[in-house]
Amino acid sequence: MNDSSHAQGAHQPTNPAAAAAPARQRLFEKYWDRAGVLIGLLGCLAQSTQVISEWQRSGPSSLLLPFVVAYWLSFAFWLAYGLFFKRTAIIVTNSIALLLQTALLLAPR
């Protein structure tokens, strides 16, 4: 092999497993994204029970305003993070959680 053929040809991986690594990585990430959405939606389901309870309550709220606001800020941050890094699981679940937390914030006190 001369220098010109080495310089002109693209570097080809000699190991087939190394060539398949990016495809495996994408598949691995896809499954983690799906799991993240599923687990995040379960969290949103749990959060929705609190929203329903607060809106149906006839007496004063049992939640402290700083608690509700802190969680709202947390969900807003993670939504921004997901949008910045284009992470579907984070975007989907934190969008829903932010809406639910907003409903808690607006619940009659």
Is residue 1 over pLDDT 70?
no
Long-range contacts of 66-72 (CB under 8 A, 24+ apart): 68/101, 68/104, 68/105, 69/105, 71/101, 72/98, 72/101, 72/102, 72/105
Mean pLDDT, the chain, rounded, equals 88
What is the pLDDT, as a whole number, of residue 8?
Answer: 55
Q: How confident is the model at residue 45 (pLDDT cuts 50, 70, 90)?
A: very high
Mean pLDDT in residue range 62-76: 96
What is the pLDDT, as a whole number, of residue 92?
Answer: 96
Mean pLDDT in residue range 61-72: 94
Given the candidates 3.30.420.10, 1.10.20.10, 3.40.50.300, 1.20.1280.290, the CATH classification of the domain at 20-106 is: 1.20.1280.290
